[in-house]
Structure 1
Amino acid sequence: MNGLDWAALVLVIIGGLNWGLVGAFNYDLVAAIFGEMSSITRIIYILVGLAALYMIYFATKAGQD
């Protein structure tokens, strides 16, 4: 795995844990740290979404090997 693969994996894990906290406890950790829909929070959400799309690509690429 290269650096982009690792970065995407970490972002997807962060996103998954955050959604778990939202679902279980109605607590958005990213918003709590960086502010409710601040610019940084929105950027993190966008990066997590892009990482998820990349992981879809990575999974299909890995399935072809």
Structure 2
Amino acid sequence: MKALNLTTLLLIIIGGINWLLVGAFQFDLVASIFGGQDSALARIVYVLVGLSAIYQLIPFSKAIQTGEVLAERGRL
């Protein structure tokens, strides 16, 4: 489970960096690496990033329910 959590977190970070590049420089790194936005590999990466974001909702909601988020801010 920890490996899946770390993998999905890494994919979300990659997606966030890609969106930063798109927003700041109109440069889609994933598309340029994998042959354009419509290439099968780029679409797979986009889908994996999106699924990773959905998966990360689970640990996020658990952290909120257990008060982990407040503990990290020092307000528990």
* Alignment TM-score, normalising by the size of structure 1: 0.93
Q: Match for residue 61 of structure 1?
A: 62
Contiguous gaps of at least 5 residues in structure 1 = none
Structure showing greater Rg: 2
Q: Residues 7-49 of structure 1: CA distance to partner in whole angstroms, max 9, x if unpaired?
A: 0100000000000000000000000000112101000000000
Mapped to 2, the partners of 1:58 and 1:16 lie a distance apart of 18
The aligned length equals 65
Pairwise CA RMSD: 1.1
Contiguous gaps of at least 5 residues in structure 2 = 67-76
C-alpha displacement of 1:62: 2.1
Flag as ranges the 4+ runs of structure 1 deviating above 6 A.
none
C-alpha displacement of 1:64: 2.2
Mapped to 2, the partners of 1:58 and 1:45 lie a distance apart of 21
Mapped to 2, the partners of 1:47 and 1:62 lie a distance apart of 23
**2:17 corresponds to 1:22:** no
Higher relative contact order (CA 8 A, sep 6+): 1
Matches within 5 A, 1:1-65: 2-36=2-36, 37-65=38-66
